[in-house]
Amino acid sequence: MTRDPRWEEQLFALFDDLEQQAEAAFAAEREGEVAEQARSAYAEVALAARLMAAVGAPVSLTVEGVGALEGTLQRVAAGWCLLDVAGQGWIVRLPAVQVVRGLPARSVAEAAWPVTARLGLGSALRRVAEARDPCRLLLRDGTTYDARLGRVGADFVEAHLGETPPGTRTGPVLVAFTALAAVHPL
């Protein structure tokens, strides 16, 4: 019995075709898995991680109770950032940030942040209080206080207001961190 060489060629061609189809199906499935993993991983990226990638760059922030701020992002830390706006350092609480423009597409994982980035808002406000310079506190509801900062608690700051009318209670106003949008020097 003689073998037809074309039959073997056709069989090998069929096997090659099936193998190519299997590789294409695997690649398509793998591409879908990679895309899903990328979406899932990006769902874990926080605003602060995106901001951290922009330190030293110009950005635009829209802040609740304040409005638009444009400047150079100087520092990002746990729950706040420092924005240089026309030579003034603005401490901005991240929960009050509504819109950000001008960020690069990348982010910086929290594990790669400098140790100082782990300092909370209280640390930044303590530095302002130690300087004893007057500042403006801008609240998320639009209220402003011109004051000197006093003691800083776990979740509030004492704001010593300027002149108080006769017959009014004296002493500091306590401002909860959750109400605060931004602080800047006067």
pLDDT in tens, 127-173: 999 999 999 999 999 999 999 999 999 999 999 997 655 555 667 89
What is d(CA 164, CA 169) in angstroms, rounded to the nearest whole number?
8
What is d(CA 127, CA 34) in angstroms, rounded to the nearest whole number?
45
Global pTM value: 0.76
Non-local (6+) Cβ contacts of 165 within 8 A are none
Lookup: tokens for 98: 């509504």
Which residue is it, tokens 């009050």?
96
Round to the nearest angstrom and report the end-to-end CA distance of the chain. 102
